[in-house]
């Protein structure tokens, strides 16, 4: 199982205690620890405008991980965010970090599959970042997302694609050995989203931006901490392998914005 890390809260406690000068409630203080996707907080900033949020809108974060994007959106916009993730330990960690950040009144998390979430009323917008690579039946998965959104709601994606068949170096952030990896081409992923009833507004290859971000972020080497790889099994190896595949073109990152039909 790829997402099998345990005792995350204890690890977070230890990492943060080693950096007592870090104010967890400060804007962006935990960005190196809680962003489980390439591009970190900068990538979330690229997605926020596409959500087109109005006052009072509630956002759904599918595959919310440690909760970094959900908290960032709440801080930046003032909107409430609900995260859902299938890994209970990640949800526990997300709740802990959210409490430390003083955002528990704006951001909450549910443990379970998106198919089991029953919102009332439906959500006004949604995002998912680096999640569908673990989903085999992508059309059904995106339909489950659509069923939880209001008509006309925005869905924003930041996802990994494989432009051509190539051997990938395992482990990766989303798979330790490739057995639970279902990464597809950009065209195939787009077809799955549209097949679930979404209409495309934008579908853009962000790989050049990502490569520039990798160069800037790792110019002085891997982060010393507290940083996300410290929370993951083989964390630094997974990050290095992923960055290598993005740099040599074996993988790409695509940003998408879609709307749910009103019919």
Using pLDDT thresholds of 50, 70 and 90, give the confidence band for residue 47: very high
Q: What one-character DSSP code corresponds to residue 175?
A: B
> Is residue 197 assigned to a domain?
yes
For residue 132, pLDDT beyond 90: yes
Q: What DSSP element (H or E) covers 34?
A: helix 31-34
For residue 123, pLDDT beyond 80: yes
Taking each helix axis from N to C end, the angle separating 88-100 and 8-17, rounded to the nearest 10 degrees, works out to 30
Q: What is the pLDDT of residue 214?
A: 84
Are 148 and 83 in contact by the 8 Å Cβ rule? The answer is no
Using pLDDT thresholds of 50, 70 and 90, give the confidence band for residue 22: low
Q: What is the CATH number of the domain that holds 134?
A: 3.40.50.150
For residue 57, pLDDT beyond 50: yes
Are 170 and 51 in contact by the 8 Å Cβ rule? The answer is no
> Is residue 206 assigned to a domain?
yes
> Is residue 2 assigned to a domain?
no
> Is residue 223 assigned to a domain?
yes
Q: Dmax of the chain from CA atoms?
A: 54
Highest mean pLDDT among 15-19, 85-89, 148-152, 169-173: 148-152
Q: Is 119 helix (H, G, I), strand (E, B) or coil?
A: coil
> Is residue 183 assigned to a domain?
yes
Q: What is the pLDDT of residue 1?
A: 47
pLDDT tens readout for residues 158-200: 999 999 999 999 999 899 899 999 999 999 999 999 999 999 9
> Is residue 88 assigned to a domain?
yes
Range of the structural domain that residue 68 is part of: 8-260
Q: What is the pLDDT of residue 2?
A: 47
> Is residue 3 assigned to a domain?
no
With tokens 């990538």, the residue in question is 43
Using pLDDT thresholds of 50, 70 and 90, give the confidence band for residue 229: low
Q: What is the pLDDT of residue 232?
A: 62
> Is residue 1 assigned to a domain?
no
Number of domains composing the chain: 1
pLDDT tens readout for residues 111-121: 999 999 999 89
For residue 25, pLDDT beyond 50: yes
C-alpha atoms less than 13 angstroms from C-alpha of 53 in its C-beta half-sphere: 23
């Amino acid at each position: 199982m790829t997402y099998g890390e345990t005792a995350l809260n204890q690890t977070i406690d230890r990492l943060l205690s080693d950096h007592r000068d870090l104010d967890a409630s400060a804007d962006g203080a935990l960005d190196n620890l809680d962003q489980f996707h390439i591009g970190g907080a900068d990538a979330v900033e690229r997605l926020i405008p596409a959500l087109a949020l109005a006052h009072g809108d509630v956002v759904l974060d599918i595959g919310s991980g440690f909760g970094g994007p959900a908290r960032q959106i709440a801080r930046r916009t003032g909107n409430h965010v609900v995260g859902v993730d299938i890994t209970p330990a990640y949800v526990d960690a997300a709740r802990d970090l959210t409490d430390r950040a003083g955002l528990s009144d704006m951001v909450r998390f549910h443990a379970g599959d998106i198919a089991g979430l029953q919102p009332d009323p439906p959500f006004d917008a949604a995002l998912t970042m680096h999640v569908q690579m673990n989903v085999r039946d992508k059309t059904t998965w995106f339909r489950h997302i659509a069923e939880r959104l209001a008509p006309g709601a925005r869905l924003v994606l930041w996802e990994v694609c494989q432009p051509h068949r190539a051997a990938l170096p395992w482990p990766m952030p989303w798979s330790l050995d490739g057995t639970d990896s279902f990464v597809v081409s950009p065209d195939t992923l787009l077809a799955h989203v549209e097949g679930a009833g979404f209409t495309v507004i934008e579908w853009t290859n962000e790989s050049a931006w990502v490569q520039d971000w990798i160069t800037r972020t790792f110019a002085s080497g891997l982060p010393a901490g507290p940083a996300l790889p410290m929370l993951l099994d083989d964390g630094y190896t997974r990050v290095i392998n992923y960055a290598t595949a993005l740099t040599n073109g074996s993988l790409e990152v695509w940003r998408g914005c879609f709307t749910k039909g009103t019919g």
